[in-house]
Structure 1
């Protein structure tokens, strides 16, 4: 049940770090962090649904 939340947190960190490495401003870090958080949150949601349907968890 924690996969979507974990994906959101990890995605936000990855996005912010990538923007900072490329010399981005605070707004760039927020934008990249949000984009990556959404992407990895959706991936985490699909993993959670798959595990529930396969009765793994």
Structure 2
């Protein structure tokens, strides 16, 4: 669940970042996808760390 939440948060932040920079819808989609993937990978790493620490 953490991975999905992180991916959605990353996608939203990426789209907002592209919009703030004056990007077109295609730019917003690309920023959303790239940032969503990065945040999902970070969420995946955090999930693994939590699973290993929790036993």
Q: TM-score, length-normalised on structure 2?
A: 0.95
d(CA) in 1 for partners of 2:52, 2:40: 18
- How far, CA to CA, are the matches of 2:32 and 2:48 in structure 1? 24
Residue in 2 aligned with 1:22? Answer: 21
Query: 16-25 or 47-56, which moves further after superposition?
Result: 47-56
Q: CA deviation at 1:3?
A: 1.2
The two structures have a TM-score, normalised by structure 1, of 0.92
In the other structure, the counterpart of 1:50 is 49
Which 4+ runs in 1 deviate beyond 2 A? none
SS at match of 1:54: helix
Q: Which runs of 5+ in 2 are unaligned?
A: none
How far is 1:11 from its partner? 0.3
Structure with the larger helix share: 2
